[in-house]
Chain A
Amino acid sequence: MAVDTRPPSYTAPAPRGLDRLSDEQLIARFRAGDDAALDVALRRHERRLLRFARRILGTRSPNAEDVVQEAMLRTHLVLRRGDRAIDLGPWLFKLVRNCALDELARVRSEVGPLDAVPEPAAVGSDPADVTAARGRMRDTLADVAALPDLQRHALLRREIEGATHADVAGELGITEPASRLLVLRARANLVKARAGRDARCDDIRDELLLADDAGRRASAHAYRHLATCAACREFRSALRQRRHDLKVLTPLPLLFGGLVGLKLAGGALLPGAGAGGSSVGAKLATAGAVTAAVAGGTLGIDRVFGPGDPAPVTVRSVAVPGGLLASGSPLPVGTAIVTRTVAPDPALPVSRYAIACPPGLRVAGLAPTTSGSTHALAPETIVGASTKAVVLAEPSSARAHLELAVVCRDPAADGSVLADPVRARAAASSSASTATVCVPRTYLRRAPGSRAVTGSLTRRQPVAVRAEREGWRKVTADTGATGWVRTSALC
């Protein structure tokens, strides 16, 4: 016989008489085939469970109801599949607690920084105290959520529910000493996690520097701090990159060895250099410097290449004339490329980097430097409008470091950042007027109100208006794309 796994409905009115029955009696009736009986029992606890979930997840969390529903669904399935005796109230609270902690752990692993975890409620009258209490509670819950499953279960059963080690051991199928050890380790891990989080960044960075100098790993204390401190993780990445840079530069003295009298950028003379400079040597040195810069710039340091500078990467984009600019070719007027070498954290699914264009220039795209790793502008970066690019990058198992190259352009009078914008055809049309997109992004549609799209537009993108009809305008973008947009999307 197929098992009915449908979740119960909690909105229907309770059949008369069931309200007077105890949870145990209702469960018995449910197991005898009366589905409405469990609805009544669950509804009894629903409001308190919701409050409990919100205390853990935060009053503004949209997931509290989902957590309660998940707990109820699990209860429904457990009761339907077996005749195990359960005390419904405590059972539900335990399930909600575990589901809420799982939710916290999920949010933490997906989002990364704890800043994104919703704040739980706190009591108190002084706003400063309330804020501090919220912070402590959030941190503690996050630490508990991060504990290994067995440790978390043992700790919560002991600390919150007062269960004996015999109970915990029985539940987990382990011995009592092992249960005791789990609880001790869980407590110790919570203390260590707090100590790591509360450590001063300066101290941690000093320790990272010492460990780097000694060629050893930093302490577990430092790593616990790194798990919650994005700034220190960036610092550690910078240290690693610097080491990598030095390896890259190792053969360069051999290259420069024959260059007599060549001055380094800092003004220091190469060892053994004579007085006579060499233009050939200078070119070689420049080429070497560019190669080194591209092979691995200093981590976290932006390198700006302006008009006339050799392009540090190949750019295939309509932001450059002809759509292609080979690496080493001089950058055209009004164009800059800002590069940065980054080391995406392998512990995070995605790393974010903010790279600013030179003053007056706007982001005109990202020139990928490798096809082996997904990296792209974040949705909040609007090409043609933003002056700072936020780049998302996934960690790569093949390469520890990634070179990001943001293309920047000086916008034309009409706001276009394309090298060869489509203006001629629009201007040739006597009926065409110009407009600018006023919303962050909008689709170009094949007909007014149609779901079929022909492209999309971004804020500040110039368009030539070709026709108008009932709140819609037919436009041609500077990319050449044509379609209909709502009049309200244009300035």
Chain B
Amino acid sequence: MNRPGVAAAVTTALVAAVAVAPPASAAPKRAKADEVCAPSAPLYESPGGLQIGVVAGGRTVFVLKRTASGSWVRVRTTIGARGWVKARLLCDEGA
């Protein structure tokens, strides 16, 4: 009796198909906006690496990437700088 297994396989295939299917429009993916909720957020070249700047509190940042652990977020700032900030300093934690 392998019906549950078959059902799981079909479900997985459907999910994969939806996940892999290209979006209806070919519009470029937009970075999600978030906001610095702390008085300021230090900007780092890499998680735990060299500090390369600071983002003032209340400023918008655009989330480019998250680490697998979710504790660091790579962002683009409104002045064009890019770097990593700690997720907990963002209002939505880069989610």
Q: Across the two chains, which residue of chain B brings its CB closest to A443?
A: B65
Q: 8 Å CB contacts to A: which residues of B79-94?
A: 79-84
In the complex, chain B residues whose CB is within 8 Å of the CB of A368? 40, 42, 51, 53-54
Contact B52 A377 (CB under 8 A): yes
Contact of A453 with B by CB under 8 A: yes
Are A458 and B77 touching (Cβ within 8 A)?
no
B51 A453 Cβ-Cβ under 8 A: no
Residues 8-47 of chain B: 1 if any A CB is under 8 Å from the residue's CB, otherwise 0?
Answer: 0000000000000000000000000000000110110111
Give the bracket for the number of chain A residues in contact with chain B. Answer: 35 or more
Give the one of B46, B48, B57, B78 with max A CB within 10 A: B46
| Interface pair A319/B50, CB less than 8 Å apart | yes
Nearest B residue to A379 via CB reads B82
| A41 touches B (CB below 8 Å) | no
Residues of B in contact (CB 8 Å), total 33
Q: Which of A318, A376, A379 has the most CB of B within 10 A?
A: A376
- Closest chain B CB from A470 CB (angstroms): 20
- Whose C-beta in chain A lies nearest to the C-beta of B74? A456
Q: How far is the CB of A73 from chain B (nearest CB, A)?
A: 15
A371 lies within 8 A of B78 (CB): no
Query: Is A258 part of the binding interface, using a Cβ–Cβ cutoff of 8 Å?
Result: no
Q: Out of A350, A452, A481, which one reaches B80, CB within 8 Å?
A: A350
Report which residue of B40, B79, B80, B84 has the largest number of chain A beta carbons within 10 angstroms of its beta carbon: B79
B interface, CB within 8 angstroms of A: 39-40, 42-43, 45-57, 59, 65-69, 72, 74, 77-84
Interface positions of A (Cβ within 8 A of B):
316-319, 349-350, 364-368, 370-379, 381, 383-384, 391-394, 407, 417-418, 443, 446, 452-458, 477, 479-481
9 of the cross-chain contacts (CB-CB < 8 Å) are A366-B51, A368-B54, A376-B81, A383-B52, A394-B79, A407-B50, A446-B68, A455-B84, A481-B47
